[in-house]
Structure 1
Amino acid sequence: MGNTMKTPRASTEGGEETNVASQTGQESDFLAVLYDYPSADISQPIFHVGEKLRVLSDEGGWWRVHSLTTGRENYIPGKYVAKVYHGWLFEGLGREKAEELLQLPNTKVGSFMIRESETRKGLYSLSVRHREVKHYRIFRLPNNWYYISPRQTFQCLEDLVNHYSEVADGLCCVLTTPCLTQCTSNHSIMNQVPPVVMRNKNFNWRSIHRLEMTGDTESTLAEIDDSCLSYGLRESIASYLSLTGDDNSSFVSARKKKAHRE
């Protein structure tokens, strides 16, 4: 991408310099979803516009990815995403799609991106969210320095971003955060199944065995009724006790008391 960033370099054994970022990647590099995939008219989308994806592998026209928004892992076609470098440099993104991303919910004033021309490598535009999305052409000098206004030039795009993050200097506002930084999704929350709440069960099963020795059916049934067991399970236990030959009148009495309380 030309002289876009100041990148640390490391020396190999042969003395040749290699780009460290190209070998290891950057934590701020990701894929941005440009279109719901699959589209809603086909099925429920797996990935939604504006999601940030971490690349797991390149499958030749498809990416195997991990969503930083929902945690899902799946495949997505390359044409549904844009590569993003350093958190704010979008590759091959048009003006319309840039505006759509910058107008997503939770996107703050001053959110920005620099996007590389879809048709001509090395040409860039700065898009900034204000009252509306503003676009600024970034010009390039023969010595590969960049500028928006000719009175202020920069050796690389990183310097340009740093400068306009401190002062507006002719822009609509100061640059605050890269596009999609604060963009979150509620899809995972909406689709979550509520956790199962386990209730403590105070019923002591040993009381059944005690019943065989004491014959105290009524007290056992009262303990069942006062426990956290469900109505259906209490009824089943009560029926079982009644079939063991205990006093049927006590069983009926206990059931009537329970029914009266409920």
Structure 2
Amino acid sequence: MTIPDITLNNGVRMPQLGFGVFQVPDDETAEAVGHALRAGYRSVDTAAIYGNERGVGRAIAESGIARDELFVTTKLWNDDQGHDSTLTAFDASLDRLGLDHVDLYLIHWPTPVRDRYLDTWRALERILAEGRARAIGVSNFQVPHLRRLMEHSGIVPAVNQIELHPALQQAELRAFHAEHGIATEAWSPLAQGAVLGDEAILSAARAHGVTPAQVVIRWHLQTGNIVIPKSVTPERIRQNLDVFGFRLSDAELDAIAALDRGLRTGPDPDTLN
């Protein structure tokens, strides 16, 4: 089994299916990430605010997998936005991870009322130029935030990681990404389970002999999204990776497209400050 890559706008290749560790306690993270790496995942997504970068670093160190075979993402928390504070926070993240670079560094939220993301982006540009991140991007940015960022920078974000699932399909934002060469990455890809009982997904699961979660992950892949499902259960960690033996039909994709209902399971980026 080979996980397909997405080529980012700076030529860096990123696995399309990765492993997320949101809400995994630090003392459980090393074990969960270890299971994921043994199952075949090579991309791990964490963040400073998750409090588990050390656990991710322990798992990587204990895995025996060459660093250049792994893709590690972490994110800057809102309190640390600003040019100099971003550089300090990035150093702290690297120290907790036990790494000399990350593959992708993201601004976690735009926090528009704070209005620091332009200064923050300048710091990310420096981190990129120094080779301490192979790619830089954002998370939870809406179209106006992206436009403003791009108007003040020569570097287009490589990735925008957003809440995205069948009940919140973000068509306008994804179209903007496609127009400007920004890869779309989905967090909460299963809507915290809220879509797993929808008949369109259940029907596809029955047709292919897979779980509803596998159908949704497959939908993300066929839609072109990068996706980072999270689990701490070894069986589900393996199941979430076992999505390359079937393909959703056009009719099944159309039925899932009809599930979009603007359902957010997390905060609204326009109002989280």
**Coarse TM-score class (shorter-chain normalised):** under 0.3
TM-score (norm 1): 0.26
Instruction: Please say which structure displays the higher CA radius of gyration.
Output: 1
Task: For CA contacts below 8 A with separation 6 or more, give which structure has more relative contact order.
Answer: 2
The structure richer in strand per residue is 1
TM-score (norm 2): 0.25
